[in-house]
Amino acid sequence: MLLLCHYLLDLSRSLDLRKKLIIAMDAAFGMEYLHSKSIVHFDLKCDNLLVNLRDPQRPICKVGDFGLSRIKRNTLVSGGVRGTLPWMAPELLNGSSSKVSEKVDVFSFGIALWEILTGEEPYANMHCGAIIGGIVNNSLRPPVPETCDPEWRILMEQCWSANPNIRPSFTEVTDRLRAMSVMLQSRAQAPGS
């Protein structure tokens, strides 16, 4: 298994939308499982997603690196700031509370969706202070390519919403990714495709 980030950065390999959806769904299923067990990952990013590409038609993606994970008690998780800057939700950075919800992982997943889509590292050429300020002020998110599938864009933007209440649960994320996959398959099977 390879780290997904290494695969994405290798421009000689390309993933079509179907394979990107499979990878995103696998990661979302893994996160849905973790959240069902009251575990918050806190460091979800393509660096912590493992991908197996032995079957060129069906990549397999697994969530890894649970070094920052915490068990959720009641409804919130305590323990201060943790994660990797470009993937950290605003509520982790603004210091307003030492308790956060599992929606911090959903924010990170939105940024990971952008990584899967573009093959790039978010905010690669920006200074840490500018990243923190931009995320906290809700003025910084990765640029969405014009060619982005509209449903992918909507999901990604809801995941990285500044308001955790707007972010979907991973159950909703998996449902929406599954629907996108079905729609893509039906378009591929339509006459004239």
Q: Is the dihedral of CA 85, 89, 93, 98 positive or negative?
A: negative
Helix (H, G, I), strand (E, B) or coil at 119: coil
175 classed as catalytic? no
d(C-alpha 121, C-alpha 141), whole Å: 12
Active-site entry in 43, 105, 149, 175: 43
Return the structure tokens found at 107. 């924010």
Q: Which residues are CB-contacts of 141 (< 8 A; sequence separation ≥ 6)?
A: 157, 160
Cα Rg, the chain, nearest whole Å: 16
Question: DSSP assignment, residue 73?
Answer: B
Is there a contact between 54 and 12 (Cβ–Cβ < 8 Å)? no
Name which of 42, 34, 22 is nearest 182 in CA terms: 22
d(C-alpha 111, C-alpha 118), whole Å: 11
**Helix or strand run (H / E) with residue 61:** strand 60-63
Q: Point out the residues that are catalytic.
A: 43
